[in-house]
Amino acid sequence: MTTLMTIMLQAAKGPATGGSGMGFWIMIIALFAIMYFFMIRPQQKKQKETEKFRKSLQVGQEVISAGGLHGIIRQIDEVENIIILEIAKDVKVRIDRACIYANAASAQQQVDKK
C-alpha cells in the first residue's frame, strides 16, 4: 500500500501544470474509500463472525480444525483457551480455540449444495 502511495506522490510531483492539485487529492481520497469498502471492511466483518463462532462453541459440537481434523468437542477450558477434540474413538487431542475453523455440519451442507 505504501508503494502505491509513493508512486502516486511521485506522479503528482511531475511537471507543474499550474493547477491547485485538487484533482490529485480527490483521487487519493477516492482510492482510500475504495480500499476501505472493498478490502478492509469485509475482512473486519469476517473476523468478527469467526470470533463470534469461536465464542459460541459447545461440548458435543462437530467442528473442523485449521489443520483439517474433524472431531467432536469433548471439553472446553475457558482459562487456557484449549479445546479437547475427539477425532476417533478414545483418541483426543488438545487444540487451541483459535485453531477451530468451522462447524462440520454447516461445512458438509455447503459441500452437498455444490
Q: Residue 88: give the domain boundaries.
A: 58-113
Other Cβ atoms within 10 Å of 65 Cβ, number: 18
The DSSP call for residue 58 is -
Residue 8 lies in a domain: no
Q: β-strand 100-103 against 91-96: which pairing, if any?
A: unpaired
At 45, list the grid cell: 466483518
DSSP SS3 for 40: helix
Domain count across the chain: 2
**Model confidence pLDDT, tens digit, residues 26-83:** 889 999 999 998 999 999 998 898 889 888 889 999 999 888 899 999 999 988 989 9
Residue 51 lies in a domain: yes
Confidence grade of residue 102 (pLDDT, cut at 50, 70, 90): confident
pTM score, two decimals? 0.60
Confidence grade of residue 103 (pLDDT, cut at 50, 70, 90): confident
Q: What CATH code is carried by the domain that includes residue 100?
A: 2.30.30.140
Residue 71 lies in a domain: yes
Instruction: Give yes or no: residues 72 and 38 share one domain.
Output: no
